[in-house]
Amino acid sequence: MSRNKLLLSKASICAIVAAVLLVLPLVLQRNAYSFEVARLIMIYIILALGVRLTLLMGFPTLGHGSFALIGAYVSALLVMKLHVSFWFALPLAGAAAVIVGVPICYPSLMRLKGGYFLVVTVAFSSLLELVCLRFSSLTGGEEGLSNIPKVDPISVPLLGTIDFGSRFAFYYLLLFITFLVIIFMYRLDNSSFGRLIRATRQSDALSNCVGVNVAKIRVITFAVACFSGGIAGSLFAHGAQYISPNQFGVWPSLYILLFVVFGGTDNVLGPVLGAIILRIVPELLVSSPMASPIIFGVLLLFVAHFLPEGVLGIRRQVSTLTRAVSAGGKPSAQSDT
């Protein structure tokens, strides 16, 4: 009974969230800035989910933005210079991030863990930023690339041609892709492969001794994280029609990691909530962009102190609290058993 009720409430929450997200553009329609924030949030959600994945196997990263940077440049250059369709450039951007990211990080994935890996990713990220600045003939150097073409229209049977030029259409496209990424990550989490990822974080030696190929699990997982990062970068480039090296340097990567830590890593919803709350709340509270980092910091301190498992940890805290209360309220019931 209670399980059914719970399921019902979960379904209703999902329905409400879906409705809000679908109707949101109609409410925002005049405000171009709000669209921009919504777009960034969704891109950050995709990136944060990738960071969560690497955290799940015990590899925190401050270089996840690099994969977005690779994806953004590859996708933009393919479309601009080679006139490839966006729809081909999108998966290629993901693939490029995997091709660059996996071999470069492979030695560190095999030998380092935790904070040591974090340091390597900082180096990787800074290096990539430098490379992008220096190869200005291709990347546009400090100015970056602008006038990146918008997403090509596609013709869908029954619906006719969909033009993604308007910010409405792009919003829905991004919403759809973000949704797909969330579903994918959720299924990965709850699959037997996800179980192996968590096992490799807890003990390499034991995983190996029960026949789990730790190296393979790490490479595949990291490749998935790279791929999602590359896709996010491509979507950013074609959404903003602009990309420059500092868009996804170490600093934005730090924010992405904080979204994950803020939201909690237990569940795929953690990074999603983290990205939404940490992006929106400062925007709502203060108008000056200078002041928003202060709000950001206060929120982070609050969570670090009261909800060390992230915002989602609140559920466990509430449940232990209610259990404690009900146990205290009915001492006779406990002595009976």
Partner 1 sequence: MRKAILETKKLTKDFGGLCALQDVSISVHEGEFVGLIGPNGAGKTTLLNSIVGIVRPTSGRIFLGGQDVTGHKPHQIAERGIAKTFQLVTLFEGSTVLENILVACSMKSRIAFWTSVLDTPNNKRKNAQMLDRALGILQLVGIVELKDEIASTVSHGHRRLLQLAMALVLSPRVLLLDEPAAGMSGVEIKSMMNLVKEEQHNGVGVILIEHNMSVIQNYCDRVVVLNYGQKIAEGTPEQISINDDVIKAYLGGVEGAV
**Type of residue at 64:** H
Least CB distance to partner 1 at residue 210 (A): 4
Piece of the chain touching partner 1 by CB under 8 A; list 27-35, 44-52, 209-217, 280-288: 209-217
User: d(Cα 123, Cα 121) in Å, to the nearest integer?
Assistant: 5
Residue 71 exposure: Cα atoms within 13 Å on the Cβ side: 34
- In whole angstroms, how far apart are CA 281 and each of 105, 252, 289? 35, 18, 12
Would you say 191 or 317 has its CB closer to partner 1? 191
Contacts of 317 (CB under 8 A, 6+ apart): 307
Q: What is the dihedral of CA 108, 112, 118, 122, to 10 degrees?
A: -30
Least CB distance to partner 1 at residue 293 (A): 34
Would you say 91 or 149 has its CB closer to partner 1? 91
Least CB distance to partner 1 at residue 202 (A): 4
Would you say 175 or 214 has its CB closer to partner 1? 214
Total residues in contact with partner 1, by rule CB under 8 A: 24
- In whole angstroms, how far apart are CA 77 and each of 150, 168, 234? 13, 25, 10
> Which of the residues 211 through 250 are near partner 1 (CB under 8 A)?
211-214, 220
Class of residue 99 by CB neighbours under 10 A (exposed 0-12, middle 13-18, buried 19+):
middle
Hey, what are 336's tokens? 């009976």
* Residues 94-113 as x/- pattern, contact with partner 1 by CB under 8 A: --------------------
Least CB distance to partner 1 at residue 96 (A): 20
> Which of the residues 188 through 207 are near partner 1 (CB under 8 A)?
188, 191-196, 198-199, 202-203, 205-207
User: d(Cα 244, Cα 228) in Å, to the nearest integer?
Assistant: 19
CA-based end-to-end distance of the chain: 24
Residue 337 binds to partner 1 (criterion: CB under 8 A): no
Residue 187 binds to partner 1 (criterion: CB under 8 A): yes
Would you say 32 or 210 has its CB closer to partner 1? 210
Least CB distance to partner 1 at residue 336 (A): 22
- In whole angstroms, how far apart are CA 127 and each of 40, 121, 225, 305? 24, 10, 20, 34
Nearest to 179 by CA among 319, 24, 46: 46
Residue 330 binds to partner 1 (criterion: CB under 8 A): no
Would you say 88 or 193 has its CB closer to partner 1? 193
Judge whether 92 and 78 are in contact, CB under 8 Å.
Answer: yes
Would you say 31 or 319 has its CB closer to partner 1? 319
Piece of the chain touching partner 1 by CB under 8 A; list 50-58, 208-216, 236-244, 297-305: 208-216
Would you say 39 or 201 has its CB closer to partner 1? 201
Least CB distance to partner 1 at residue 32 (A): 37
**Contact residues: partner 1, CB under 8 A:** 184, 187-188, 191-196, 198-199, 202-203, 205-214, 220
